[in-house]
Amino acid sequence: MLVASWNINGVKARIDGLTTWLKERSPDIACLQEIKSQDEGFPRAAIEDLGYHVETHGQKGFNGVALLSKTKPESVLRGLPHDESDEQARYIEGVWTGEAGPLRVASIYLPNGNPLGTPKFDYKLSWMERLERHAKDLLLKEEMLVLAGDFNVIPQPEDVHNPNAWLEDALYQPQSRGGLRRLVHLGLADALRMTDDRSEIYTFWDYQAGAWQKNNGIRIDHLLLSPEAQVALRSVGTDSHVRSWEKPSDHVPIMAEIAA
């Protein structure tokens, strides 16, 4: 079972690249973030023509997450629990059952949080606290779980080309990094770091100042695995080559092969 995550940065603008990648990589489940589309406007036909089922949790012009899968999920949860007043579309969760039992996958677009000292950073931290509460509940199920997406958190100095440039950014603050670390301490694991401890493995390169050409990147897209998924993990990788495609997203896909 190949589970992938990609912040597509506008699905309508990147639909050609997305369908090309789906045909090339053929993931069983693909989690998208920042689709920037309402549910009814999502270009599902082009994706369904490739044999995928589409579930979306959209929002006009901003945010939005989706699950693309070769088989229809048995259940879908839209929206992160523990705050019914939150109208931002940042979380969708599906459940599939395979030979090894249930597999639960969530597509997450965690708030950016900039600028510091504003309600946006407070919202980021409170959202992370809600995610931690929900993750605790999910881990009690003792099933394969993948929390996938753009977490907007740089975990460690080796995950950024120039750490000093991010010292005043919400993605690299002690509170943000601590929130991600608390998730891991629940029993989750960073799938990529289970298999590769090298530096300069990035998932995001800004459009400005030749960041891609200079490899001035950061790693903010993550796959967090429950213990049950950790033992079933076979491989992890990124498709960094898509960053050089025409009209690319500023993020690239990350994926994990799981025996499910």
CB-based burial, 205-222: b 16+ in 10 Å, e otherwise: beeeeebbeeebbbbbbb
Q: Among candidates 137, 135, 109, 111, which has minimal Cα distance to 124? A: 111
| Residue 91 annotated among the catalytic residues of the structure | no
Q: Name the band, by pLDDT with cuts 50, 70 and 90, for residue 40.
A: very high
- pLDDT of 98 reads 83
Alpha helices in the chain (DSSP H): 15-25, 44-48, 119-139, 174-185, 191-195, 227-230
Annotated binding site: 7, 34, 150, 152, 250-251
Marked catalytic residue, from 28, 52, 150, 169: 150
| Residue 172 annotated among the catalytic residues of the structure | no
Marked catalytic residue, from 91, 109, 172, 202: 109
Give the contacts of 74 (CB within 8 A, at least 6 positions apart).
94, 95, 96, 97
DSSP summary character for residue 198: -
Annotated binding site for Mg(2+): 7, 34, 150, 152, 250-251
- In this predicted structure, the answer to whether residue 260 has a pLDDT above a threshold of 90 is no
Q: Among candidates 83, 103, 84, which has minimal Cα distance to 95? A: 103
In the chain, the domains with their CATH numbers are 2-258 (3.60.10.10)
Q: Among candidates 71, 30, 31, which has minimal Cα distance to 51? A: 71
Q: Render pLDDT for 93-123 as a digit per residue (tens, 0 to 9).
A: 999 998 889 999 999 999 999 999 999 999 9
Q: Render pLDDT for 205-253 as a digit per residue (tens, 0 to 9).
A: 999 999 999 999 999 999 999 999 999 999 999 999 999 999 999 999 9
| Residue 53 annotated among the catalytic residues of the structure | no
Tell me whether strands 101-109 and 144-150 are parallel, antiparallel or unpaired. parallel
Distance, in Å, from the CA atom of 207 to the CA atom of 13, rounded to the nearest integer, reads 15
Scan for tokens 């407070």, then name that residue: 122
